[in-house]
Chains A and B, each alone.
Chain A
């Protein structure tokens, strides 16, 4: 299976070349176009209960589609918002994704839903988070560009910008500065992450977009 992420970073999409016998699992509605030789099978995302939970709390759909082919073909997968897409190679390790970030994975990858906690809710990252683990490649998307950072000590990310992080990374919510500067600098709460581990961040935040849109409605 050959893959290529095209039109980066603004309107990234994944072109997948499936050889006979290859499979790729994609978020429902992620398919933009495909060869007629490709078959699609729809399944509950990790079983019925897990699927419903993912829909309700994980920002993902209840179903995932598995694309396969007997003769080979091409499929283009995409995400609903403008932004970059990142490919991640899992080798038995896991990664947490923010709700809605997941796009596609290879069949060896397990999709799970984990309780993220109230502190992540305060940090505008959602009460639940998707956990991808196993062996294989995972594609996830973000709003704006994606940049990664290997952290070993403490690092600060504004709330809403953290897209993915490894379970080895500790996440704490803190005020950006003092009480006054936190609320009047526009930064409010920030996320303090502690290494070791890798984090992925997005260069725009949905909250920022929502506030900007709101301000221009009237």
Chain B
């Protein structure tokens, strides 16, 4: 565990962070954590399983709506609502994933996207239940989480716990089975592994954590809108992961830091955020394959992500 000492340092820094920054940046930090959790959950499918889901916002949105509806219409405590968010998102991922894991490559991307859009339109049209395109307003966190600082520590606690769980999953035999499916699904099948079942389990777990991230968003923003499930939102974890680097566990979280900081910074003086991030993506795709983490790894070998660049450069191929 000693090689991960720097993680402890980062965690301690994160504990003291709100003491030195203003309220605005505390909000940004909360958003980084929530979107980062979303992106890390996405990367369980993308980085570890080797499939690109372009409908991951569906589970994020389902989670957000589950918590939002529970907080608005009932009086369950927030932690229970978050647990319900995870389970609901997991159930949706189970049904959708059942069909999606039959596909790979471009078909996987399009099918996840089609299902995601289906959910989006259902939420968008179902006024009586979801509030339609008005969204849900007045999602109030419990009294002890009303201040930005309290919500920061709450989010930090949950996101760190979730990341630890995902870390153990990715380092477990299950996680290595996922890598093996990514490298070569046929050979994995030959050694007696039910590839589809494993992919489905992974899909459901990723969906659950996306749902948890979504659940955290509603009480933070005090409102949610159906756009959370739109395919545009599904693009966000894809950027984050590609900017940060899909091959390390923390890549998407680094991507979230860069993306969200940039968003907070750029939207301060221009409304042309899509143009800015679009140019950033073009730059990253053309000149920085492997993302920031990939760049860092090729420069400083000490940063300890287990999958080396050379080994994985050629093997991110989604086709087998």
A and B assemble together = no
- Residues of A at the B interface (CB closer than 8 Å) are none
- Residues of B at the A interface (CB closer than 8 Å) are none
